[in-house]
Structure 1
Amino acid sequence: MDVEAILGPQLTLRQLELFVAATDHSSFTAAAKHAFVTPNAVSLAVSDLERALGVTLLVRQRARGVTSTPAGVQLAEGARALLRQASDLQLTVGDHGEELSGPVAVGCYSTLAPTVVPELWERLADRHPEIELTITEGTTEHLVGQLHEGRLDCVVAYEVALPLGLAVRRLYNARPSVVLPESHRLAGQAAVDLTELEGEPLVLFDLPPSGQNTLHLLRSRGLRPRVAHRTTNFELVHSLVGRGMGFAVQYQHSGVDVSQEGRRLAFRPIAPEPESEPVMVAWPERLPLTSRAAAVVHLAQDCLPVAEQAC
């Protein structure tokens, strides 16, 4: 369903805005509160859209709110993109001077956030202070879902986990390292050969794709990983390693060499050096970036390569 093609005199951006609010809140009443209108106004807007398009967009269920039909899901996705473009046009041609302003929503894979977000946010505040940056953290799968739903402008994630159909730009390469307790027999080495860790317990950071990448790396070096603990909590990995519960492999080094409990950790390069993992910024190929989002992407390409030195 091409939203821009079907948007004619009988359809308005306000109708699309109220429809999107209804899908986001799964309720006409909640959407009305969000949009500062009456529930009847939301219901009428949705009904007018359904009448104009000749399809059912939302299924009304008494006392259970509304749920989207397949056509409704498709329209909501396109409508969010169209509403963003309309907002961008207003901010671009309105009386706002030459300074870019307005919201930009960026999704960031959880473990990349401590390195990516502070650098990007600080540089953006200096370069484009009127852009309102919001960051959503999560798994790549979750973030890409939000990207296609129109809730995010772009996503920062490892290339290996990104699906087809996205425009991508490389930001930097992340290099894996071994994390050991400071007291470990190999902690004093300049680099660690993974084969020297054969048989030792592994604390696996298991937030996709990190867990799969770690296991693949170890197996490619002839190891049979003995997973002692799996967790999606990055700090818990450090705490367990700090207590000597095992070693870990991570692709992102925040620069802090102690666990939250204050136990010192040793981050050591892997020898022989494995292939690095590209970190990318991505957005849907079929949806153009707003001028604000494009500025954030360009800034990320300029400033985030410094993160490569910290990996």
Structure 2
Amino acid sequence: MEPQETGPTEPPSTDVVLDARLTLRQLDLFVAAAEHGSFAAAAQHAYVTPNAVASAVSDLESVLGATLAVRRRARGLTLTPSGVRLLDGARDLLRRASELRLSIGEHGGVPVGPVAVGCYSTLAPTVVPELWARLAERHPGVELSVTEGTTDELVARLAVGELDVVIAYEVALPTELEVRPLYKARPRVVLSAEHRLADRDAVDVRDLADEPLILLDLPPSGANTLELLRRRGVRPQVAHRTTNIELVRSLVGRGLGYGVQFQRTAVQTSAEGRRLVTLPITPEPRAEPVVVAWPHRLALTSRAQAVVELAREVLAAPH
């Protein structure tokens, strides 16, 4: 019996085939449930009912053939190993989908859309206003949002995609981040204008060894200040610790001690209106680089890149 002729056989496809039942909305609600820890909290965040969130997660489990989360009434939602793997991929897919949508609206390469910037708390008052104002002039289609916090807080948000870039002191950043320099900041002593050393051009911190220190205890500033003093042979007499730079300045203005700050300010009064002086330290200490950083593994969007380039341009002047 003669074999029947057949047409050419197509090679097996190597393309990834997406199930049509898997939707971006399901992934979005799954990510919300994972990040908020319960269907109820995710529903409030997404403006839907808890049943809608639960249904989206169940549909994903059906499509993928895997259990993604364990539901416990008293303890909320716990991701399984499969759920943890999906979470990273879902975040990336949602980000790419958002980028695709926004890129359609970019005409002639003009950046548009949101950019989330994290800024170390004490840097924000002297960094954010100029950057925001110049960005509005240069790239009006970019919507800037700013989150303040400690370096650890900002890096954690960067890692989960809540921030595009962060502006912080390089010394405290993980080495796996991509960084670009902005400027260098040197520590300065803050004194009441009535302090015995206020009329000097610079201050040797050893002359303050017996005086109380009002410590800005905000990582990494607190540790950097204590290390600076110890390197100069000073055992700091810490009178008060605070994470609020303005409280440091107000207590100094009252004559209750001296402070050390790494950022410069044009305002030489405390919040209470008391006169202050900020003086260089002698011998001159090491400058701390201030940088803009983002995850090394991620390519910046065009609008985030525009923010980085503008930050390097406008913040290069001494601060």
TM-score, reference length from structure 2: 0.88
CA RMSD of aligned residues (A): 2.2
Aligned to 2:18: 8
Give the 3 Å change call, closer, same or farther, for CA 83–224 of structure 1 in structure 2. same
Aligned to 1:232: 243
Aligned to 2:263: 252
- Contact kept in structure 1, 2:105 and 2:112, CA below 8 Å: no
What is the one-letter code of the residue matched to 2:31? Answer: V
1:272-293 CA distances to partner (integer Å, 9 max, x unpaired)? 1111000111111112222211
SS at structure 2 position matched to 1:22: helix
Higher Cα radius of gyration: 2
Alignment match of 2:192 (pick from 167, 181, 184) = 181
Alignment match of 1:102 (pick from 110, 113, 117) = 113
SS at structure 2 position matched to 1:305: coil
Identity across matched positions, percent: 65
CA–CA distance in 2 between the matches of 1:226 and 1:204? 10
Aligned to 2:4: none
Aligned to 2:7: none
CA–CA distance in 1 between the matches of 2:207 and 2:131? 38
Aligned to 2:5: none
1:63-113 CA distances to partner (integer Å, 9 max, x unpaired)? 654244455455434433332222122111247564321111111110010
1:42 has 2:48 as partner: no
Give the 3 Å change call, closer, same or farther, for CA 149–295 of structure 1 in structure 2. same
SS at structure 2 position matched to 1:179: strand
Aligned to 1:144: 155
Equivalences for residues 1-311 of structure 1 within 5 A: 8-9=18-19, 11-53=22-64, 55-62=66-73, 65-69=76-80, 71-94=82-105, 98-306=109-317, 309-310=318-319
- Contact kept in structure 2, 1:22 and 1:30, CA below 8 Å: yes
- Contact kept in structure 2, 1:58 and 1:67, CA below 8 Å: yes
- In the TM superposition, residue 117 of structure 1 has moved relative to its aligned partner by 0.6
SS at structure 1 position matched to 2:263: coil
1:191-241 CA distances to partner (integer Å, 9 max, x unpaired)? 111121121111110000000000111111111111111111111100111
- In the TM superposition, residue 187 of structure 1 has moved relative to its aligned partner by 0.7
TM-score, reference length from structure 1: 0.90
Q: Number of matched residues?
A: 304
CA–CA distance in 2 between the matches of 1:7 and 1:63? 38
CA–CA distance in 2 between the matches of 1:72 and 1:244? 56
1:43-75 CA distances to partner (integer Å, 9 max, x unpaired)? 232223334555543332226542444554554
- Which moved further from structure 2: 14-23 or 155-164? 14-23
**What 5-or-longer segments of structure 1 have no aligned partner?**
none
Would you tell me which structure has more helix in proportion to its own residues? 1
1:132-157 CA distances to partner (integer Å, 9 max, x unpaired)? 11111111101111111111111111
